[in-house]
């Protein structure tokens, strides 16, 4: 339980959902974790839960759309803990229903790109100088989305933004790898959280589970476990990778579920 012992981690958007799962597992593995987001009350609940379990964590306000807020987060973290080893870029505007190309306004497009690409870029930019001072560099983990795997009926801006995160990941890994700074991206599949479970219709769950290779949809800890590995020294030779954590959803041809219903292997 000491895979991240002595490391300092920032997990953006960690006041709810996937971010909470990541932060709690980081703390359980020995990291000092900065919980950040706009909702202070929820953030302090997460901090308290970590402290009760014997971990170390603190809350810091951050608005991923405000550059000065992001800069202050990093400056205060390093002032408090002396360094920064891990950054998880999790904060984003989940716009899964943002629409088709003809339905989107420029304002909708810009809002999603501002939080999902611009925010991730700027947080990475802020983290780099601090990680460059570390003898062992650091690990940056971007949270992407299966939406970037291919075209879909909607969520156009969100999918395009997350595709940008994929390439930002590879560019960062290439440009700073020789300084021992690694960058990887985790693309979650359907992750049901305490916050979104009531809003995910059973019909949607059924569609996903018919295409997932395992017998359930995902939970925040599924993403957290992958992030622990990518943040730890165990993954020292892993960088520039885009890892799907989706129960195998994107690893087969798209007609599998329909042929299963026909009790057939192929046409």
Express each pLDDT in 30-63 by its tens digit. Answer: 999 999 999 999 999 999 999 999 999 999 999 9
Percent of the chain with pLDDT over 70: 98
- Angle, CA 200 vertex, CA 199 and CA 201 arms, to 5°: 105
Are the C-beta atoms of residues 70 and 64 closer than 8 Å to each other?
A: yes
pLDDT at 205: 87
pLDDT at 263: 85
Average pLDDT, the chain: 93
Dist CA 182 CA 185 (whole Å): 10
Q: Which two tokens stand for residue 185?
A: 């991206």
pLDDT at 253: 84
Q: Is the pLDDT confidence value at 265 over 80?
A: no
Query: What pTM was computed for the model?
Result: 0.94
Domain boundaries, the chain: 8-201+217-253
Fold (topology level) of 8-201+217-253: Rossmann fold (3.40.50)
- Angle, CA 181 vertex, CA 178 and CA 183 arms, to 5°: 115
E strand or H helix that includes residue 35: strand 32-37
Catalytic residue positions, numbered = 158
Give mean pLDDT, residues 222-251.
Answer: 96
DSSP string, 4-15: TTT-EEEEET-S
Are the C-beta atoms of residues 226 and 244 closer than 8 Å to each other?
A: no
Q: Is the pLDDT confidence value at 95 over 80?
A: no
């Amino acid at each position: 339980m000491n895979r991240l012992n002595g490391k300092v981690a920032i997990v953006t958007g960690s006041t709810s959902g996937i971010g909470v799962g990541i932060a709690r597992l980081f703390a359980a593995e020995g990291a000092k974790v900065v919980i950040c987001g706009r909702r202070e009350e929820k953030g302090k609940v997460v901090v308290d839960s970590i402290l009760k379990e014997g971990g170390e964590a603190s809350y810091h306000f951050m608005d991923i759309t405000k550059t000065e807020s992001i800069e202050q987060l990093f400056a205060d973290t390093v002032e408090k803990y002396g360094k920064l080893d891990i950054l998880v870029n999790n904060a984003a505007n989940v716009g899964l229903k943002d629409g088709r190309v003809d339905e989107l306004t420029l304002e909708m497009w810009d809002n999603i790109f501002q939080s999902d690409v611009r925010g991730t870029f700027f947080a990475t930019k802020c983290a780099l100088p601090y990680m460059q001072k570390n003898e062992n560099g650091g690990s940056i983990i971007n949270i992407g989305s299966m939406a970037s795997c291919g075209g879909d009926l909607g969520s156009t801006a969100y999918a395009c933004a997350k595709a940008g995160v994929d390439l930002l990941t590879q560019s960062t890994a290439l440009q700073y790898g020789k300084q021992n700074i690694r960058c990887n991206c985790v693309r979650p599949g359907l992750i049901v959280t305490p916050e979104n479970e009531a809003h995910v219709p059973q019909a949607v769950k059924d569609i996903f589970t018919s295409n997932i290779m395992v017998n359930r949809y995902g939970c925040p800890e599924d993403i957290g476990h992958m992030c622990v590995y990518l943040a730890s020294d165990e993954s020292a030779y892993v960088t520039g990778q885009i890892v799907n954590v989706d129960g195998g959803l994107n690893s087969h041809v798209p007609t599998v579920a329909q042929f299963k219903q026909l009790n057939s292997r192929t046409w």
